[in-house]
């Protein structure tokens, strides 16, 4: 079977995979097949997405990529190399593997080696914004020897704001993960600060003081949004920040902040059941209450302030 540019395989059917299915269908790309290791659990988000979207599901990664001209890999960071190696067993000659995973430059290079040894064309991709607002028109950085070639067809797949960096695989990943030290770190800082400030009754004073040094904004709304992202996606963010810590360390810098962010993001992920909430302070109160319940159940430590993990 030869690669068909009109056929797309999705490895991973989480939030990003769902956006790809919906937007590609809008563009007239209807030959879509998905594979996710979570399909074994009928109640997993991936399984629910497959049912709601009515997308064809494959029995394996090899089955999914057969005949596809584009393979989109959107799995968790820790699974990125394994996903590439599994896809390499069935990828067609000349097919693109679009690696959107938030993994380190070294892991991107390992994924590239697996795909290109099998005759595929590996493109590293870094999503440089939340995917929700602009969806496939979000800014993507593309890296590697095949990034320019992919850029030539990117608009066919709705990626009108992609930029090709070319060169060695790893530059796009490094850009993404160094940025994540700031973005995911800020999520963690706001979460930790507001949990403590609310408990001490000074949350309004803290929020009102931020424009003294930071740009004017509705900081309560910003904090609520950032905190909700940690609560909803903290597990995935923790894995991404583990990759960020590896990247920072590879640059010869001790990744103290990245490692701390791993812990706060992982902690926040315990409380996804409190969503949604009406306001930032409602969210803070709900997380505090849930953390105290968890403390009473399994730990003498305080709500994420004295060693809860």
pLDDT band at 34 (very low <50, low <70, confident <90, very high): very high
Bridge partners of residue 143, in order along the sequence: 124, 166
- pTM given for the model: 0.89
Joined tokens for residue 139: 């800014």
The answer to whether the beta carbons of residues 176 and 126 sit under 8 Å apart is yes
Predicted confidence at residue 178, as pLDDT, reads: 98
Mean pLDDT of 168-183: 97
| pLDDT score recorded for residue 4 | 78
Does 306 have pLDDT greater than 80? no
Name which residue leads in pLDDT, 302 or 216: 216
User: 301 pLDDT band (50/70/90 cuts)?
Assistant: low
Say what the pLDDT of residue 1 is: 66
User: 63-79: per-residue pLDDT in tens?
Assistant: 999 999 999 999 999 99
Give Cα separations from 104 to 42, 179, 180 (angstroms).
31, 13, 12
**For residue 37, is pLDDT > 70?**
yes
pLDDT at residue 304 in the model: 57
pLDDT for the residue numbered 309: 41
pLDDT over 70 (residue 307)? no
Question: CA-CA distance, 203 to 255, in Å (whole number)?
Answer: 29
Locate CATH 1.10.1040.10 in the chain. Answer: 173-298
Chain segment 77-135, per-residue pLDDT in tens: 999 999 999 999 999 999 999 999 999 999 999 999 999 999 999 999 999 999 989 99
Mean pLDDT of all residues in 245-272: 97
pLDDT tens across 190-234, in order?
Answer: 999 999 999 999 999 999 999 999 999 999 999 999 999 999 999
Q: How far apart are CA 225 and CA 207, in angstroms?
A: 14
102: Cβ contacts below 8 Å, ≥ 6 apart: 77, 126, 173, 176, 177, 180, 239, 240, 243
* 105: enclosing H helix or E strand: helix 105-117
For the chain, give the mean pLDDT. 95
Which pLDDT score, from 0 to 100, does residue 36 have? 97
Q: Note the pLDDT of residue 82.
A: 97
Between the CA of residue 109 and those of 20, 84, 238, what are the distances in Å? Answer: 24, 11, 21
Report the CATH fold assignment for 4-169.
Rossmann fold (3.40.50)
pLDDT of the residue at 2: 74
Q: Are 5 and 24 within 8 A, CB to CB?
A: no
173-298 fold: 1.10.1040
What is the rounded distance in angstroms from the CA atom of residue 291 to the CA atom of residue 154? 44
pLDDT of residue 299: 59
Dihedral of the CA atoms 269, 136, 87, 81 (nearest 10)?
-40
pLDDT band at 258 (very low <50, low <70, confident <90, very high): very high
Q: Tokens 């080696």 identify what position? A: 113
Q: Mean of the pLDDT values across residues 241-266?
A: 97
DSSP 37: G
Residues whose CB is less than 8 angstroms from the CB of residue 67 and which lie 6 or more positions away in sequence, other chains included? 1, 2, 3, 4, 7, 92
Q: In this structure, what DSSP letter does residue 216 have?
A: -
Among the ranges given (20-24, 44-48, 305-309), the one the predictor scored with the smallest mean pLDDT: 305-309
Residue-by-residue DSSP string for 240-271: HHHHHHHHHHHTT---HHHHHHHHHHHHHGGG
d(CA 70, CA 3): 8
Q: In the chain, list all ranges with CATH 3.40.50.720.
A: 4-169
The two structure tokens encoding residue 30: 């209807």
Range 233-244 average pLDDT: 96
For 169, the token pair is: 């695989």
Which positions ≥6 away from 163 have C-beta within 8 Å? 139, 140, 141, 142, 151
């Amino acid at each position: 079977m030869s690669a068909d540019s009109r056929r797309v395989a999705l490895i991973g059917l989480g939030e990003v995979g769902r956006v790809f299915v919906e937007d590609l269908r809008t563009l007239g790309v209807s030959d879509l097949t998905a594979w996710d290791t979570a399909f074994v659990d009928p109640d997993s988000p991936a399984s629910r997405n497959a049912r709601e979207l009515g997308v064809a599901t494959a029995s394996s990664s090899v089955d999914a990529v057969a005949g596809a001209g584009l393979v989109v890999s959107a799995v968790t960071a820790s699974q990125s190399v394994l996903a590439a190696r599994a896809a390499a067993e069935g990828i067609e000659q000349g097919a693109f593997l679009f690696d959107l995973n938030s993994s380190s430059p070294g892991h991107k290079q390992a994924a590239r080696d697996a795909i290109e040894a099998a005759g595929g064309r590996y493109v590293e991709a870094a999503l440089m914004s939340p995917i929700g607002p602009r969806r496939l028109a979000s800014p993507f950085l593309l890296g590697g020897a095949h990034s320019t070639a992919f850029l030539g067809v990117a608009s066919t797949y709705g990626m009108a704001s992609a930029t090709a960096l070319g060169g060695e695989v790893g530059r796009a990943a490094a850009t993404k993960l160094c940025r994540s030290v700031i973005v995911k770190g800020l999520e963690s800082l706001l979460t930790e600060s507001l949990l403590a400030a609310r408990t001490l009754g000074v949350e309004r004073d803290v929020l009102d003081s931020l424009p003294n040094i930071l740009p004017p904004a509705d900081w309560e709304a910003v904090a609520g949004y950032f905190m909700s992202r940690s609560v909803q996606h903290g597990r995935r963010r923790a894995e991404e920040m583990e990759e960020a810590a590896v990247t920072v360390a590879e640059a010869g810098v001790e990744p103290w902040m990245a490692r701390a962010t791993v812990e706060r993001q992982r902690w926040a992920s315990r409380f996804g059941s409190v969503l949604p909430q009406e306001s930032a302070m409602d969210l803070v109160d709900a997380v505090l209450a849930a953390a105290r319940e968890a403390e009473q159940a399994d730990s003498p430590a305080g709500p994420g302030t004295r060693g809860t993990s």
